[in-house]
Amino acid sequence: MSERSTILVSVHCPDRPGITAGLMEILTDSGADIYDVEQIVVRGRLTLNLLIGVTGEKGTIRDLLFHGWENDIHMEFEVVEETPTPQKATSIVTLIGVTVSPEDFGAVASAIAGGGGNIERISRLSRYPVVSYELTVSGGDINDIRASLVTAAADRSIDVAIQRDGLERRAKRLVVMDVDSTLIEDEVINLLAREAGVEERVSALTYRALAGEMDFSKSLEERVSLLKGLDEGAMERVAASITPTKGARTFIRTLKRMGLVTAIVSAGFTRFADALAADLGIDYSLSNTLEVEDGFLTGRLTGELVDSNRKAVFLQAVAEAEEIPLGQVVAIGDGPNDLEMLAAAGLGIAFNAKPVVRDAVDTVVSVPFLDAILFIMGIRRDHIEDADAADPDFEPPERIEVPGTPPL
């Protein structure tokens, strides 16, 4: 009886229907076993790797080569060890940028190798509004790799995140977001201050608070006091001027289609946060309440203050109410008062954040598109677009032109 061999068959050709089916028919007729299959198509070119077990390999290889000659399929063969490659713990590295150059990719690959990791698979997640890739990495120390990735990203216009692969990463069920400078582009209190004629004073206090230079709660109370006497008409004008962050509607719409629970929590104000929640279909909303008497702001807040601790408590309360483990929660924020919330979640993301926040968390997104966070979660852009195209009520927004984006 002939000795059984393990052979790696590498197939390269222009992609078209029936290639895999034809190869499987040859292997079936020759009595081969299949141990592993991987296939990818890039710009219409197919690469297919088959790990097979055969007895009397010459006959099988002859039949495959003849089939390839008849069908313009290039094949290479390599006899490999029969012992399976041992399973290693894997991590997922996500690379995001308006553009990703060879130098950027090389820096990320070097960081992974420097931490003892090996890249096993690379797939593109998006090419609009940003370019993003997902790299499956085996082995290495995730903390060493993360530290090297942070260094690599700091010198380039890219964002890089690493997460342990597994069910928990793929089973996110709750997303909790800050509002000002996260879900929306504005700081609402600064817009109110403009209406009150105290914008410069309030903006200075806001800057100091968000930079971690003064106590946030004290700063908020001082800023609110400067709004005393503002009328209802001014608040309506502010509400009408609020601008959602680019990609915010796509982000929320996609989360809802996936069945995720969504929540916003803000040191801003219920008048505006609750309206946003209703407009976007967000499930939970918590924020501060401005005291109003006879149609004018009193310069005070009512109820319990929403500060850093209350944000984290709110996240935990929503997770508990929805029976969702904290490991399956994503939190997104930009300021120091978001740090406790980001730390409480399984995945805390600093979105266009202040330096003190970027330095304190593992995952940073600095591109100005909120829906880029979907790529951190492993969601492909084409799946988002397919879902939009299948929705009869969806009206596509005007396409955002991103300078430097490579052609499709």
- In 3D space, the residue among 5, 92, 102, 9 whose CA is nearest the CA of residue 47 turns out to be 9
How deeply is 87 buried, as exposed, middle or buried, from its count of CB atoms within 10 A (0-12, 13-18, 19+)?
A: exposed
Q: What is the pLDDT of residue 1?
A: 40
Between helices 248-257 and 381-389, what is the axis angle to 10°? 80
CATH topology of domain 90-165: Alpha-Beta Plaits (3.30.70)
- In 3D space, the residue among 366, 359, 340, 355 whose CA is nearest the CA of residue 210 turns out to be 355
One of 3.30.70.260, 1.10.287.70, 3.30.450.20, 3.20.20.70 is the CATH number of 4-79, namely: 3.30.70.260
Q: Summarize pLDDT for 157-214 with one digit per residue, the tens.
A: 999 999 999 877 778 999 999 999 999 999 999 999 999 999 999 988 888 877 778 8
Q: Which two tokens stand for residue 366?
A: 């600095």
Q: Summarize pLDDT for 249-286 with one digit per residue, the tens.
A: 999 999 999 999 999 999 999 999 999 999 999 999 99
Q: How many residues does the chain have?
A: 408
Would you kindly state where each structural domain of the chain is located, as residue ranges? 4-79, 90-165, 175-377
State yes or no: pLDDT of 144 exceeds 50: yes
State yes or no: pLDDT of 403 exceeds 60: no
State yes or no: pLDDT of 382 exceeds 60: yes
| Contact call for residues 178 and 273 (beta carbons, < 8 A) | no
Q: Find the angle CA(249)-CA(250)-CA(253) to the nearest 5 degrees.
A: 80
State yes or no: pLDDT of 394 exceeds 90: no
State yes or no: pLDDT of 4 exceeds 90: no
CATH number of the domain located at residue range(s) 175-377 in this protein:
3.40.50.1000
- In 3D space, the residue among 233, 370, 340, 250 whose CA is nearest the CA of residue 297 turns out to be 233
Would you tell me how many other CB atoms lie within 10 Å of the CB of residue 104?
A: 20
Identity (one letter) of the amino acid at 235?
A: M
Task: Report the alpha-carbon distance of residue 60 to residue 53 in Å, rounded.
Answer: 10
Task: Report the alpha-carbon distance of residue 273 to residue 176 in Å, rounded.
Answer: 13
Q: What is the mean pLDDT of residues 296-306?
A: 95
Q: What is the pLDDT of residue 222?
A: 93
Identity (one letter) of the amino acid at 210?
A: L
Task: Report the alpha-carbon distance of residue 85 to residue 87 in Å, rounded.
Answer: 6
- Tell me which residues are annotated as active site: 178, 180
Q: What is the mean pLDDT of residues 1-22?
A: 89
Instruction: Tell me phi and psi for residue 268, to 5 degrees.
Output: -75, -145
Task: Report the alpha-carbon distance of residue 355 to residue 261 in Å, rounded.
Answer: 29
**Which residues lie below 8 Å from residue 288, measured CB to CB, with a gap of 6+?**
220, 266, 267, 268, 269, 270, 301, 303, 305, 306
Q: Assess whether the region 4-79 and the region 90-165 belong to the same CATH fold.
A: yes
Task: Report the alpha-carbon distance of residue 217 to residue 185 in Å, rounded.
Answer: 22
